[in-house]
Amino acid sequence: MFWTSYFLAVLAIVLAWPVPILLSRAHWPARDPFTAMVLWQAIALAGGLSMIGAMLVYGLEPVGDNLIAGLRALAGMVLFAAPTTALGFWHLFALSAAALLTAHLVFTLLLTYYKIERQRRRHRELLALLASPSDDGPGTVVINHDSPVAYCLPGGARSVTVLSDGLMAALEPAELRAVLIHENAHLTQRHHLLLWAFAAWRQALPWLPTTRLAQEAVNSLIEMLADDVALKTESKVTLIKAIAIVASGSAAPPGAAVVEPAGLAGSSLQLPDGAGGAGPSTTASRVSRLLSPQPPLAGGLRATVLAVCTLLLAMPTALLIVPGLLG
């Protein structure tokens, strides 16, 4: 238990600092956004599990040879008023910190979901009043605004893709198709769930620079994934032109009141977080990727990265659970 806690602590530190920094500076994720996205998720999950597990295992070390035995002993102390003299100050502190961090992460995840859903609900209500259906297919609406704007609003069966008059006037038919395919890819691949998870992670641990790097990387990767879907039917030139036109109307930060077409003045209609494309750095990365395409990640390297992802998730899980099962 003692050495397990230290190993988990070291793993948590490595996954919270040097590994994400190195990954954020790497160039290969643009060659395989899906694999990079899986790796970011594995880093986040393994890092959080190691952080909480290290404190939990250290705190239970005096009362059990493994996590399960320690939890049983702790349950006896809490439920049946068993003596707690075996636990010193630092052990109680570690257990309290583990419980508080777990509660904080779960609460932040739920609170972030509630805030996002509330924003989307209000935005959807305004769109019902101020937008009109588009001829480009079901689930697509148009707002009366001269600036080129395009974004999707997730909501299950109520999901909608929003376009502006200015965008439709600026795009050629093929470019408009590319935009629609791109936005629909966000919906079908459930990218909003990834954005929610990493936004909550950053909200929960804002003091950790890694959370900012992870969120920025995920924002960029989901745009690349959607671009790859559009490229299956549209040319690179078409997609680049569409990206440039959409980006010209997305200079405001996410969530800013950038939509004020006629009739919306004072309505506070706001773009959802991440709407209307991405930030300048993400747009530049997308265009650079399309202008100077790199070969896809080799099969062997891809398999290696996925194996690392599996190992990252398996190590803390095995260290926490397997000794108790074997015992």
In DSSP terms, 142 is beta-bridged to 132, 163
- Model confidence at 277, pLDDT cuts 50, 70, 90, reads very low
Q: CB neighbours (10 Å) of residue 307? A: 10
Q: Which distant-in-sequence residues (6+ apart) come within 8 Å of 218 by Cβ?
A: 37, 40, 194, 195, 198
Q: CB neighbours (10 Å) of residue 179? A: 27
pLDDT tens string 307-322: 999 999 999 999 998 7
DSSP 220-250: HHHHHHHHHHHTTTS-HHHHHHHHHHHHTT-
How far is Cα 240 from Cα 68, in angstroms, rounded to an integer? 55
**What is the pLDDT at residue 83?**
76
In angstroms, what is the C-alpha Rg of the chain? 24
How far is Cα 240 from Cα 10, in angstroms, rounded to an integer? 44
Question: pTM for the complete prediction?
Answer: 0.88
Q: Report which DSSP code applies to 152.
A: E
List phi, psi (to 5°) of 156. 65, -125
**What is the pLDDT at residue 16?**
94
Q: State the amino acid at position 216 in one-letter form.
A: E
- Model confidence at 274, pLDDT cuts 50, 70, 90, reads very low
**Kind and range of the H or E run holding 142:** strand 140-143
How far is Cα 8 from Cα 75, in angstroms, rounded to an integer? 23
Do residues 270 and 3 lie in contact, with contact meaning Cβ atoms separated by under 8 Å?
Answer: no
Mean pLDDT value across residues 192-203: 95
- Model confidence at 327, pLDDT cuts 50, 70, 90, reads low
Nearest in space to 49 (alpha carbons), one of 11, 100, 91: 11
How far is Cα 170 from Cα 223, in angstroms, rounded to an integer? 21
- Model confidence at 324, pLDDT cuts 50, 70, 90, reads low
pLDDT tens string 10-63: 999 999 999 999 999 999 999 999 999 999 999 999 999 999 999 999 999 999
Q: Which distant-in-sequence residues (6+ apart) come within 8 Å of 182 by Cβ?
A: 226, 227, 229, 230, 239, 242
Residue 169 has pLDDT above 80, yes or no: yes
Q: CB neighbours (10 Å) of residue 88? A: 13
Helix or strand or coil: residue 306? helix
Mean pLDDT value across residues 131-144: 92
Residue 239 has pLDDT above 90, yes or no: yes
Q: CB neighbours (10 Å) of residue 321? A: 14
Q: Which distant-in-sequence residues (6+ apart) come within 8 Å of 247 by Cβ?
A: 277, 280, 283
Residue 206 has pLDDT above 50, yes or no: yes
Q: Which distant-in-sequence residues (6+ apart) come within 8 Å of 229 by Cβ?
A: 181, 182, 184, 185, 189
Q: State the amino acid at position 231 in one-letter form.
A: L
**What is the pLDDT at residue 79?**
84
pLDDT above 70: percentage of residues in the chain: 89
